[in-house]
Amino acid sequence: MFALNSQRPMTKSLRVLAAVLGYPNAQLRSDLPEMRALLQEERVLSHSRLAELDALMDMLSRADALEAESDYVDLFDRGRGTSLHLFEHVHGDSRERGPAMIDLGQTYEKAGLILAEGELPDYLPAVLEFVSTQPVREARAFLGEMAHIFNAIFGALQHRDSAYASVLGALLELAGEKAQPVKPPAEEALDESWAEPVVFDGCSTKGQAKPGQAQPIHIVRKRDMAQGASS
Q: Is the pLDDT of residue 116 over 60?
A: yes
- The pLDDT score that the predictor gives to residue 18 is 96
CB atoms within 10 A of CB 118: 7
Q: How far is CA 173 from CA 4, 6, 49, 106, 180, in A?
A: 8, 11, 9, 27, 11
Q: Which of 85, 114, 112 is nearest to 100 (CA)?
A: 85
148 pLDDT more than 50:
yes
Which of 8-22, 114-128, 186-200 has the lowest average pLDDT?
186-200
SS3 113: strand
pLDDT tens, residue by residue, 86-103: 988 875 565 667 777 788
pTM, to two decimals? 0.76
| Least confident range of 98-107, 125-134, 137-146 | 98-107
pLDDT digits (tens, 9 = 90+) for 51-93: 999 999 999 999 999 999 999 999 998 878 999 999 888 755 6
Average pLDDT of the chain is 80
Higher pLDDT, 5 or 23: 23
State the Cα–Cα distance between residues 48 and 63, nearest whole angstrom.
23
Query: Which pLDDT value is given to residue 93?
Result: 66
Of 24-28, 126-130, 195-199, least confident by mean pLDDT is 195-199
What's the pLDDT at 118?
74
Distance CA 168, CA 39 (A): 15
pLDDT at site 122: 87
Provide Rg for the chain, Cα atoms.
18
| Amino acid at residue number 79 | G
The conformation of residue 201, written as its DSSP 8-state character, comes to S
- Helix axes 147-159 and 165-174, enclosed angle (nearest 10): 160
Q: How confident is the model at residue 213 (pLDDT cuts 50, 70, 90)?
A: very low
